[in-house]
Amino acid sequence: MSIDPPRAVRDIVRQLERAGFEAWCVGGAVRDALMGVEHLDWDIATSAEPARVRRIFRNTVPIGIEFGTVGVLDGSGVMHEVTTFRRDVETDGRHARVAFGVSLEEDLARRDFTINAIAYSPTRDAVFDPFDGQGDIARRMLRTVGNPDERMAEDRLRALRALRFAARFAFTIDPPTWTAVGRSSEHLARLSAERIRQEIEKTMDQVATPSSAFLLWRECGAFARVLPALAGASDVELSFADCLAPPRAGGPPARRVNRITAIMLGAGPGSTRRTLRELRFSNSIVSWIDGQVEKWSAESAGLEAALAAGRLPAPAFARRWIARVGRPRTGALLRVCFSVWGARRAAGREAPPPELCFPLYGRLLRSAFRDAIERADLSIDGEDLLALGIGPGPVIGRVLDALVDRVIDDPLANSRQGLLRIAAQEFNGDAGRLDRGGGVQ
C-alpha cells in the first residue's frame, strides 16, 4: 500500500530534517493510508522542540505549545500540526503532563493503539512500526500499545476511542484490550462531559453504522456510567441512526445532529433534554434535538398510519402535519423517520416501504415551502381584524389560528377578500364564541 502525504507535508518534513532534526508522519493519516482510506490531516512528529519549530518556519501558530504542538502554515495558508516527540510524565485518567527530549519510539509508545502508532518517513519512504500496527491492520485487530489496563488507567477516554475505532474499521477488539475496556467503564464518569460529547460526535461523523459502536458502549457498561438514558435501549433503537443518509445540503454536522436525534428517540423528550444538557451540548442543539424527539413522539405514528394504504397522504393531511411539526423541522424530522423505518425493516418489523419515502419527502417539502400553514402565511393580519372590529386582545390570535385552520383545508381560501369575508361573517361580533373556547364551525 502506498503512503502518499501531500506535497506541503513532505516539504515540512524535509525542512525539519535539513535543520538537523528527525521528522515523521504519524497517527491517523498513516494508519488510514495503509488501509487505503483518504485522510486529510497529516500530523508530523519531530525531535525539534516547539521553540525551534517556530524558528524554522515563517508562519506558525502556537496551538498547543504545552503539549508540544505548533501549527505550521503552508504556502496556501493550510495549517499542519507539528508535535515534538514527547512522553507523558504524569497522568490521572484525564490530563497528562508531557516531557520532550525523547525518541520516536518512546513517542509512539505513548499512543493508544498499535494501528495509531505507526510512523512514516516520506523522505526515505520508510515505515517505522515497533508495535506491529501493520500486523494488526492485516488481522483487523484493535490492540493497545503495551498493557491494556495500564494504558486505559492513564486516560479513560481510550476505552471509548477503542469502541469507535473498532466500529469504524469493523475490527475485532483484542480480548485483553476488550477486558480492560470493560474494567475501565466504571471510571468513565471521571471524564469531562466535553470529552464524552466529542466522542459521541466523532462516532456519529465517522462510523458508517453508529450502532456497531453503541452496541459496544452498552455491552461494556459505558452507557450505564455516562449515558444512562440509553442503557436500556434495544438493538433496534440503537440502530435508528444507521440509515440516515447524508443530507443534500448542510454536510456532516447536519447528519450528526439528525443521528443524535435518532438515537435519543427511545429515551423520549424530557430525558433527551436532560441527557444532552449534561453532555454540555449547546443550548440551541439541546432545544432542537429535544424538540425533534418530541415531534417524533407526537407525529410519527400518524404519518405511518397515513402511509399504511401504500400511497402518499392527501395534500390536506400533509399540510396539517407540517403545520404541527413546524416548517423548519419538517425535512430533518422526515429524514429521522426514514432512518427509523429503515432500521425497523432491517430488523424484520413493520414500517412504511422505502419506495414511498422519496416521493413523500418531495411532496412534504414542496408543501412546507409553498403552502400557507401558519399565521404569517395568511393574506391578512391582526391589523385587518382590528379594522373589522375584532379584538384587541388574545381573540385576535385565536381568529388567526382559526383562519389558518381553514386555509390548511382549503388553500384557495387564502385571499385577502376571502379571509376578510370569513372573518367578518363568522367572527365579527361573535368573537366571544372564540373567547369562550368555541370552535370555528
**Contact set with ligand ATP (CB under 6 A):** 27-28, 43, 111-112, 116-117, 155, 157-158, 202
Query: Does 71 sit near Mg ion (CB under 5 A)?
Result: no
Distance between CA atoms of residues 306 and 92, nearest Å? 55
Residue with nearest beta carbon to Mg ion: 28
Which residues lie below 8 Å from residue 238, measured CB to CB, with a gap of 6+?
Answer: 210, 211, 214, 215, 218, 230, 263
Preceding omega of 392 cis (within 30 degrees of 0): yes
Please, what is the minimum distance in Å from the beta carbon of residue 158 to ligand ATP? Answer: 5
Please, what is the minimum distance in Å from the beta carbon of residue 67 to ligand ATP? Answer: 11
Axis crossing angle, helix 315-325 with helix 354-370, rounded to the nearest 10: 70
111 contacts which partner out of Mg ion, ligand ATP, none, CB within 5 to 8 A by kind?
A: ligand ATP
* Interacting span for Mg ion (CB under 5 A) from 23-31, 64-72, 255-263, 391-399: 23-31
174 contacts which partner out of ligand ATP, Mg ion, none, CB within 5 to 8 A by kind?
A: none
Axis crossing angle, helix 327-346 with helix 251-264, rounded to the nearest 10: 60
Please, what is the minimum distance in Å from the beta carbon of residue 175 to ligand ATP? Answer: 20
Task: Identify which of residues 155 and 371 has a Cβ nearer to ligand ATP in the complex.
Answer: 155
168 contacts which partner out of Mg ion, ligand ATP, none, CB within 5 to 8 A by kind?
A: none
Give the three-class secondary structure for 373.
coil
Integer angstrom CA distances of residue 30 from 3, 266, 282, 347: 7, 39, 33, 37
DSSP string, 330-353: HHHHHHHHHHHHHHHHHTT-----
Task: Identify which of residues 181 and 419 has a Cβ nearer to ligand ATP in the complex.
Answer: 181
Task: Identify which of residues 23 and 157 has a Cβ nearer to ligand ATP in the complex.
Answer: 157
Contact 195, 230 (CB under 8 A): no
136 contacts which partner out of Mg ion, ligand ATP, none, CB within 5 to 8 A by kind?
A: none
Please, what is the minimum distance in Å from the beta carbon of residue 1 to Mg ion? Answer: 19
Length of the chain, in residues: 441
Please, what is the minimum distance in Å from the beta carbon of residue 208 to ligand ATP? Answer: 14
363 contacts which partner out of Mg ion, ligand ATP, none, CB within 5 to 8 A by kind?
A: none
Please, what is the minimum distance in Å from the beta carbon of residue 41 to Mg ion? Answer: 5
- Letter string b/e over residues 156-190, b meaning 16 or more CB atoms within 10 A of that residue's CB: bbbbbbbbbbbbbbebebbeebbebbebbbeebee
Scan residues 186-225 and list those touching Mg ion (CB under 5 A).
Answer: none
- Letter string b/e over residues 125-154, b meaning 16 or more CB atoms within 10 A of that residue's CB: eebbbebbbbebbeeebbbbbbebbebbbb
What's the gap between Cα 50 and its chain centre?
Answer: 33
Please, what is the minimum distance in Å from the beta carbon of residue 148 to ligand ATP? Answer: 13
Distance between CA atoms of residues 320 and 364, nearest Å? 10
What is the biggest distance separating any 2 CA atoms in the chain, rounded to whole angstroms? Answer: 91
Task: Identify which of residues 165 and 427 has a Cβ nearer to Mg ion in the complex.
Answer: 165
242 contacts which partner out of Mg ion, ligand ATP, none, CB within 5 to 8 A by kind?
A: none
345 contacts which partner out of ligand ATP, Mg ion, none, CB within 5 to 8 A by kind?
A: none
Task: Identify which of residues 40 and 309 has a Cβ nearer to ligand ATP in the complex.
Answer: 40
Q: Which residue has the cell 453508529?
A: 210
Task: Identify which of residues 82 and 343 has a Cβ nearer to ligand ATP in the complex.
Answer: 82
Rg (CA), the chain: 29
Distance between CA atoms of residues 412 and 408, nearest Å? 9
Please, what is the minimum distance in Å from the beta carbon of residue 252 to Mg ion? Answer: 15
Please, what is the minimum distance in Å from the beta carbon of residue 29 to Mg ion? Answer: 7
157 contacts which partner out of Mg ion, ligand ATP, none, CB within 5 to 8 A by kind?
A: ligand ATP
Please, what is the minimum distance in Å from the beta carbon of residue 357 to ligand ATP? Answer: 31
130 contacts which partner out of ligand ATP, Mg ion, none, CB within 5 to 8 A by kind?
A: none
Task: Identify which of residues 183 and 202 has a Cβ nearer to Mg ion in the complex.
Answer: 202
Task: Identify which of residues 112 and 174 has a Cβ nearer to ligand ATP in the complex.
Answer: 112
Residue with nearest beta carbon to ligand ATP: 28
Instruction: Using CB under 5 A, count the residues that bind Mg ion.
Output: 1
Task: Identify which of residues 144 and 330 has a Cβ nearer to ligand ATP in the complex.
Answer: 144
116 contacts which partner out of Mg ion, ligand ATP, none, CB within 5 to 8 A by kind?
A: ligand ATP
Query: Does 28 sit near Mg ion (CB under 5 A)?
Result: yes
Instruction: Compute how many other C-beta atoms are within 10 angstroms of the C-beta atom of residue 429.
Output: 11
Closest CA to 366 of 401, 331, 335: 331
Closest CA to 243 of 285, 266, 210, 289: 210
Binding residues for Mg ion, per CB under 5 A? 28
